[in-house]
Amino acid sequence: MPPLFTLPPELIAQTGLEPRDSSRLMVLHSNNTLEHRIFRDVTDYLRPGDVLVFNESKVIPARLEAKKPTGGKLEVLLLREFSPLEWSAYLKPARKASETLIFGDGKATATIVGTLEDGARMLRFDRDIKPLLDELGSLPLPPYIQHDPQNSQVGSSAAERYQTVYAKEKGSVAAPTAGLHFTETLLEKVRDMGVETHFLTLHVGAGTFKPIKGRLEDHQMHQEVFDIPPSTAQAIEKAKLEGRRIIAVGTTTVRALESAWHNNRLEVGAGETAIFIHPPYSFKVIDALITNFHLPDSTLILLVSALAGIERIERAYQTALLERYRFYSLGDAMLIL
């Protein structure tokens, strides 16, 4: 089971700090020592030849308001695009198959054509909904973020703050949050010191928030799609042959890399993963990880426990609670060496 701790609600960050790289950084060394730094100090732990790998997926305005023909309203959270006209989605309140949903006073309609195993509904739209999302949708901030996504905060809107500065490929319904700490200036400094930066895409699904209930072996992981560019695969394979470190920025990057590694090669192109990384697990690709502080009973805390060890993570998290670190998507960061 995941490391046990009780998280006070006030430690769940509701806004991101500005500038982005002013978040706190806990450094967990391989000799089990801890350091408390500011995120921009991450360069002190990088060295020329390291390969930093980022997830450049971009969060889409996937939360929509719909109406039934009778006038009743419901919330639609788009999850995954299967074709230009077909999406899976969570509906609140849930509706039955064959019902019609109306978006934007008739700018688009969708019919519920089925129910998936996780309770999501399959929708068939009358037109490609993607070009309309910026107009009709809003950013699906995590359920523990209490403010409106359009409310402003220090220096930027919450919607802008919930995207990485390098976000490019649209498709996620949740941000790859470890990357939220990077600024353009920090990225430039990293590159200037001889650290390679490479990118992949894994579109983050709402299942990332699904808690573990019951036995680990019974937990059903969510499917996510990813894509590994040839340049990223070549850089990682070369670095591994030369004994240089591969440092993942975020658990989503880890999931993509570990899923794509086969026969000592990183497979290029698109794929799907439902990988569930938990102790014991032997990592094939990464040597270190930049990540945020995760919620108890999450698959994410099991992933970091597989890398650092359950006892080390328990100690680090107890320290984080005592030191009042800010948790989860908009909170502080940890570097696991």
| Lowest mean pLDDT segment, chosen from 42-51, 149-158, 235-244, 292-301 | 149-158
For 9-59+156-336, CATH number out of 3.40.50.300, 3.40.1780.10, 3.30.530.80, 3.40.605.10 equals: 3.40.1780.10
pLDDT value for 6: 87
Token pair, residue 172, equals 């996620």
Could you tell me if 246 and 196 are in contact, meaning their C-beta atoms sit under 8 angstroms apart? Answer: no
- Same fold flag, 9-59+156-336 and 63-136: no
CB atoms within 10 A of CB 151: 10
Q: Which among 68-77, 133-142, 189-198 has the top mean pLDDT?
A: 189-198
Calpha distance 169→202 (Å, rounded) = 9
pLDDT of residue 156: 42
How high is the pLDDT of residue 155? 34
pLDDT in tens, 199-255: 999 999 877 767 777 787 777 787 899 999 999 999 999 999 999 999 999 999 999
Domain ranges for the chain, please list them: 9-59+156-336, 63-136
Residue 111: the pLDDT is 95
Whole-angstrom CA distances from 256 to 5, 129, 163 are 28, 27, 19
Over residues 199-215, the pLDDT tens digits come to 999 999 877 767 777 78
pLDDT at position 158: 65
- More confident call, 151 vs 83: 83
Tally of CB atoms within 10 A around 222: 19
Q: Which residue, among 195, 200, 172, 167, has the nearest Cα to 182 in the 3D structure?
A: 167
Beta-ladder partners of 290: 249, 335
From the CB of residue 150, how many other CB atoms can be counted at a distance below 10 Å?
A: 10
- Count of C-beta atoms within a 10 Å radius of residue 116: 12
Average pLDDT, the chain: 91
CA distance 304 to 314: 11
Burial class (CB in 10 A: 0-12, 13-18, 19+), 131: exposed
Mean pLDDT score, 316-336: 96
pTM of the predicted model as reported, rounded to 2 decimal places: 0.91
Q: Which fold has domain 63-136?
A: Thrombin, subunit H (2.40.10)
DSSP label at residue 138: B
What pLDDT sits at residue 331? 95
Nearby residues of 231 by Cβ (< 8 Å), 6 or more positions away = 198
Q: Given this model, what pLDDT does residue 152 score?
A: 40
- pLDDT tens for 143-165 read 777 755 444 443 345 677 899 99
Adjacent-strand bridge partners of 126: none
